[in-house]
Amino acid sequence: MALLKGFSKVDEEGKVKIPSNIGDQLGFRPGSPVDVKVIRIKDSSRWPYLIIHHPRSSPRLTMFQVIMMEGKSQIDEEGKLALVEDILEESKLKFNCRVEVKLMGSKQDPWATIYNRGPNTPTTLQMKFGLKKKREKKWPTQKWEY
């Protein structure tokens, strides 16, 4: 069960911004080392996802989760997680993809999962009607000057 949830995007350099409240719970500071695992669920057509955690702790995996790739990374000064190109390709993360970051585990041994939610493109309805429409006021207002 997710304890916290946040959203972010992948930037041009392949970095993912970790939401500050999740980073605080994980104990990530600028320059802190991070272990990254690419996980896939057995016999599933879902995209792989990432698990990030401290090197001193290890996340609990179920029988259905398979580790496809492991790597190490670091948190930069802006609170972004730098990912290697191999991990980006394996997890199908590209520039301007939306990601969902969830905090998992116990207070003593937390980890976060990063799910790929696809490219940040508007839907067909948003394209047809415009991304943001200015709403008309429901009730007209009148000013009376005395």
Which tens digit of pLDDT belongs to each residue from 88-130?
A: 888 888 888 889 999 998 888 899 999 988 887 766 776 777 6
**What is d(CA 129, CA 146) in angstroms, rounded to the nearest whole number?**
42
> What dihedral do alpha carbons 8, 11, 116, 62 form, nearest 10°?
-80
Query: Hey, what amino acid is at 83?
Result: L
* pTM reported for the whole predicted model: 0.77
User: Residue 53 — very low, low, confident or very high, per pLDDT cuts 50/70/90?
Assistant: very high
Domains located in the chain, CATH noted: 4-121 (3.40.1550.20)
